[in-house]
């Protein structure tokens, strides 16, 4: 049990036009997974007016889980997202920044939740 930090520099995922390319921004992901078998994938979508950070959580453990994330980007207020996932389910949490993003940090915590039936998408 402990914090695992992944520093990921995500490249270009979305193009604004054939002539102009959008540039990605780094996502610093800190996870507290409580020894659960969870696969976390960060993604970035950028264009001229849109900056979206996404965390895809895949519950590969043998029980249901609840995950909470806090997205932070510059001077904007932190955005809190949560998802409940049954065993084998996959869920997405995203944050659309209203300003230009230089760097985004995401704190993710997943805990066992045996009474949960899930709400993510398979």
Sole residue written with tokens 């959008």: 22
Q: Determine, yes or no, domain membership for 120.
A: no
Query: 13 lies in which domain range?
Result: 4-112
Q: How far apart are CA 59 and CA 111, in angstroms?
A: 11
Number of domains in the chain: 1
Residue 119 banded pLDDT, cuts 50, 70, 90? low
Q: Determine, yes or no, domain membership for 74.
A: yes
Q: Determine, yes or no, domain membership for 117.
A: no
Tokens of 63: 């029980």
pLDDT tens digits, 37-90: 999 999 998 887 788 999 999 999 999 999 999 999 988 899 999 999 999 999
Q: Determine, yes or no, domain membership for 119.
A: no
Tell me 78's DSSP state.
P
Q: Is the torsion defined by CA of 44, 9, 47, 49 positive or negative?
A: positive
Q: Determine, yes or no, domain membership for 66.
A: yes
Domain of residue 88, CATH code: 2.60.40
Q: Determine, yes or no, domain membership for 103.
A: yes
Q: What is the pTM of this model?
A: 0.75
Q: Determine, yes or no, domain membership for 18.
A: yes
């Amino acid at each position: 049990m402990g914090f695992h930090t992944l520093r990921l520099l995500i490249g270009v995922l979305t193009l604004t036009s054939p002539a102009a390319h959008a540039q990605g921004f780094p996502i610093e992901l800190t996870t507290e997974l409580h020894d659960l078998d969870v696969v976390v994938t960060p993604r970035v979508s950028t264009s001229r007016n849109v900056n979206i950070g996404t965390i895809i959580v895949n519950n590969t453990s043998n029980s249901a889980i609840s995950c909470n994330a806090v997205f932070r980007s510059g001077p904007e207020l932190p955005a809190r997202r949560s998802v409940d996932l049954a065993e084998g389910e996959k869920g997405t949490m995203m944050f659309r920044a209203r300003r230009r993003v230089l760097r985004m940090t995401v704190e993710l915590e997943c805990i066992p939740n045996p009474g949960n039936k899930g709400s993510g998408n398979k």
